[in-house]
Amino acid sequence: MLKIGLTGGIGCGKSTAVKRFRDLGIPIVDADIVAREVVQAGQPALQAIAELFGGAALLADGSLNRAWLRQTVFNDTAHLQQLEAILHPRIREAIVRDMTAAMAAGSPYVVVDVPLLFEKHYDTLFDRVLVIDCLPAQQHERVSQRDGSTIELVESIMQRQIPRDERLFRADDIIENVGSLADFNNKIDTLHHKYAGNTAT
């Protein structure tokens, strides 16, 4: 069974691709959901964060104070590295667990949606990495239409991701999301048949 890591720049269409794969009956592991699960109440990661950052890292109900933590690590490289040292090994472990469960269920392949796949070195977990790509101008337009973000905010998010040309260079498979939804879905369907037949390797 193939393990596919899916990534792409902001606004390129990862969520649309995930929906199509899901509609095709392919199991999806969402790294963002996994990241939230590993810091739920009672999880070792939450205890480790509280021990490192103190009580301010928790809300009154004992859950993670995400807003405070984001602000705390935003301009503090050392604290960010400490936080990532707590989170990423546990996230990787959970992704492997979920991929193994999908494998046991008999799917021909599994797709793992990881926004910062290359940036956080998750690519070693997968047989192939699929990058969803579009033009930078389309990224600006789509994100602005989606949630009202300014061009400046979109640019700042893009700057935190690896450059587009490096992402494309490191991809095993690329789907360009530059036309209609029907065209995009057709490209995914074509890749689906290759993955399902294990002919993409």
Task: Tell which residue, 75, 77, 81, 53, has the closest CA to residue 65.
Answer: 53
Where is the binding site, in residues?
11-16
> Which residues sit in the known binding site for ATP?
11-16
130-153 residues labelled b (16+ CB within 10 A) or e (exposed): bbbbbeeebbbebbeeeeebeeee
pLDDT of residue 74: 75
pLDDT of residue 27: 96
* pLDDT recorded at residue 145: 72
Q: Do 167 and 124 contact (CB within 8 A), yes or no?
A: no
Tell me how far CA of residue 148 lies from CA of 139, 154, 192, in angstroms.
Answer: 13, 10, 33
Q: What are phi and psi of 21, to 5 degrees?
A: -60, -40
Q: CA angle, 70 as apex, 65 and 71 as ends, to 5°?
A: 105
The residue ranges of every structural domain in the chain are 1-27+107-201, 37-93
pLDDT at 94: 95
Question: In CATH, which of 3.30.300.30, 3.30.1660.40, 3.40.50.300, 3.90.226.10 is domain 1-27+107-201?
Answer: 3.40.50.300
Which regions in the chain score pLDDT beneath 70?
Answer: 140, 148-149, 153-158, 198-201
pLDDT tens sequence across 23-54: 999 999 999 999 999 999 889 999 999 999 99
Closest CA to 9 of 127, 151, 180, 165: 165
**pLDDT recorded at residue 123:** 96
- pLDDT score at 154: 65
C-beta neighbour count of 164 within 10 angstroms:
18
Q: pTM (2 decimals)? A: 0.86
